[in-house]
A and B are shown apart, each in its own frame.
Chain A
Amino acid sequence: MSQSIAISAGAATSAQPARRLTYWAGVRRRLRHDPTTVICCVILLVILLAAIFAPLVAPHDPFRTSMIRRLLPPGSPNFLLGTDELGRDMLSRLIYGGRISLVMGLMPVGLATLIGGALGILAGYLGGGWNMLIMRVMDVFYAFPSVLLAVAISGALGAGPGNGLIALTLVFIAPMARVSESVTTQVRNEDFVEAARATGAAAWRIMLEHILPNVLGPILIYSSSLISVSIVLASGLSFLGLGVAPPNPEWGLMLNTLRQAIYIAPINAVLPGVMIFTTSMCFNLMSDGLRSAMDVKS
């Protein structure tokens, strides 16, 4: 039963080697050319570096109080942004405050992405009973408004940055798990996953090598959009007296303690909020930029 080979396989293989532009390289290129994203990136970098190198950058000791120099307005000699209600230098406190605020913003989201993302992938891939179990538990957490849940957990645990971190992480796990599960379910039904199952590969291997690379994009986009929420929420917790305790500098806490001074020195009172606002806004815009950069199909 020999058939004559009438084709020329040479035709099939003579395709020009295409320009190897991987997906992520394309994303990076588009990001670099988007002015908004670049500006926000620069601003955030400045804040981040100032926070990391705070001891070198800050002009004064953020903890040193002085009763005579209370509530000096911005622009006073030696105190670029004035002083707070206990005479401490605002600029230094804002710089040091960046450390705590940034950590409280980034770490919960990072942890929640890991935990929630993993839970979602598990639930999406395994399906059936596991899916129901995991997602129903997530639904219960999701049933609380985020602020309320954060306040509830840290209120019950007690004030303190550690408890605040735990509370915030728990708050973000549920939405991350939802997004992750939803994307995983879509990918799971694709033929290539079936083909992978057909090779008899173990579930963990399929999840790691086939599912994960294909869901990482949407998960990261969503995760980045949560950062600004986390920063605002974290400072909100400190504002309420949960989270960081005085005399530590943290932007939300500073807003709280400066509230009494709102009639006397209004500019000082709102200054920490500017930092929260700016950081949050930059992360938001960067997240938007990331989403549109990843949207374009290569």
Chain B
Amino acid sequence: MSAIADLLNTEKPFAQDAHPALDPRDRGGPLQPLLKVEGLTKHFALKGGPFDRKRQVVRAVDGIDFTVAKGETLGIVGESGCGKSTTARLLMHLVKPDAGTIVLDGDPVGGVRGVTIAEMRRQVQMVFQDSYASLNPRMPLADGIAFGPRANGVRSLEARTRAHELLSLVGLAPERFAERYPHEISGGQRQRVNIARALAMHPRLVILDEAVSALDKSVEAQTLNLLIALRARLRLTCIFISHDLNVVQFISDRVLVMYLGKVVEVGPVDRLYAKPAHPYTAALLASRPSMDPRRRVTKPPLQGDPPNPINPPSGCRFRTRCPIASAVCAEREPVLLSLEPNGGHAVACHARIPGSGHINPVHAA
């Protein structure tokens, strides 16, 4: 009997076995978003000599807003360089934001009021992409998992017990794996250990930054299924970052699309995938390879080169590759606005906004 099937069948309560809003750390009830991000910005300065007149910056993340509700999984997609990973690191404060606010369950993070960064880190954890580099090569697996709890005051014995529990939770028998070293197990197993390590802190929010991207396809499927089982069991709230649209569709409730440091569209997964509102989203979805021989593409859906994050185009950043760009797109940046009154599906595109001056406005059907 597989350990994962055990997971769902057992009656044994796990520490977080409750609705996330019933978590003792909960402050705002089920309707308050667990995470609210406003205007998050990070620019990286490029190193030039002291004699460089123009100091160049990479505008990695340029004022993004989004929320994550309790218990939901938000998928973040975009091409390489769009700022997804930087966003993840900004959320964890591994990189200091240049501007913007992060609000965790109603409390601003890092400011004078609200929660401290250390406290935030006890509630938000991250699983990285490189499974090997994420584990200390000189530390046995169980110790690596137990480190976080121990560093936060949990006694050694209890931390070790927790580590063993987590190892079995992710499908790695503690008797065999607790004392192993990272180089002695496979990539898929390592990523499970990383997941266990992230869960050891009993986080309220788990950020998965390309967590399955580096794995072989079959192992990726196993790991995704594990994540889904864990999520259901532990009622986790997740942010799932990936460039793989199919994976994001499989695992997310809502999806956010990023382009060159900005949010271009966000909405429920089924709606967004069926009827994408932003031309970039549409192009991304159209460029997925299909097994259907009738769906052949002769022209690539996206034309042109990806622009430079150092000097993004004026106005709407996508306009240089957009099939429906018009004059107004070069003048003004489109603002993220809801397509319908209840605000579920929002898009940042002049064509979708009536009265924006776009030549061919398309109203959401």
Residues of chain B from 7 to 27 with CB closer than 8 A to chain A in the complex: 8
User: Which residue of chain B is the closest to A216 with respect to CB atoms?
Assistant: B138
Contact with A along B157-190 (1 / 0, CB 8 A): 0000000000000011100110111011110110
Q: Is A68 part of the binding interface, using a Cβ–Cβ cutoff of 8 Å?
A: no
Q: Is B137 part of the binding interface, using a Cβ–Cβ cutoff of 8 Å?
A: yes
User: Which residue of chain B is the closest to A200 with respect to CB atoms?
Assistant: B121
**Is there an interface contact between B139 and A209, defined as CB atoms closer than 8 Å?**
yes
List A contacts of B171 (CB < 8 A): 9, 12-13
Question: In the complex where A2-B232, A7-B225, A12-B172 touch, is A18 in contact with B136 (Cβ < 8 A)?
Answer: no
Q: Is A195 part of the binding interface, using a Cβ–Cβ cutoff of 8 Å?
A: yes
**Is there an interface contact between B4 and A13, defined as CB atoms closer than 8 Å?**
no
Query: Bound state CA distance, A6 and B197, in angstroms?
Result: 24
**Is there an interface contact between B126 and A198, defined as CB atoms closer than 8 Å?**
yes
Q: Is B92 part of the binding interface, using a Cβ–Cβ cutoff of 8 Å?
A: yes
B-contacting 9-mer, from A132-140, A161-169, A186-194:
A186-194
**Is there an interface contact between B138 and A23, defined as CB atoms closer than 8 Å?**
yes
Residues of chain B from 99 to 150 with CB closer than 8 A to chain A in the complex: 117-119, 121-122, 125-126, 128, 130, 133-139, 144, 147-148
Question: In the complex where A201-B151, A298-B183 touch, is A12 in contact with B228 (Cβ < 8 A)?
Answer: no
User: Which residue of chain B is the closest to A210 with respect to CB atoms?
Assistant: B136
List A contacts of B125 (CB < 8 A): 198-199
List A contacts of B139 (CB < 8 A): 209-210, 213
**Is there an interface contact between B133 and A190, defined as CB atoms closer than 8 Å?**
yes
Contact with B along A191-223 (1 / 0, CB 8 A): 110111111111001000110011000000000
Q: Is A75 part of the binding interface, using a Cβ–Cβ cutoff of 8 Å?
A: no
Task: Bin the interface of chain A by size.
Answer: 35 or more
User: Which residue of chain B is the closest to A190 with respect to CB atoms?
Assistant: B133
**Is there an interface contact between A198 and B121, defined as CB atoms closer than 8 Å?**
yes
Residue among A1, A195, A205, A213 having the largest count of chain B Cβ atoms under 10 Å: A195
Task: Identify 17 new A-B residue pairs, CB closer than 8 A, beyond the known A198-B125, A199-B148.
Answer: A1-B232, A5-B5, A9-B222, A9-B226, A12-B171, A13-B172, A15-B189, A17-B176, A22-B181, A192-B133, A194-B128, A195-B194, A199-B147, A200-B117, A209-B147, A210-B136, A213-B136
B residues near A (Cβ < 8 Å) are 1-5, 8, 92, 94, 117-119, 121-122, 125-126, 128, 130, 133-139, 144, 147-148, 151-152, 171-173, 176-177, 179-181, 183-186, 188-189, 192, 194, 197, 201, 221-222, 225-226, 228-229, 232
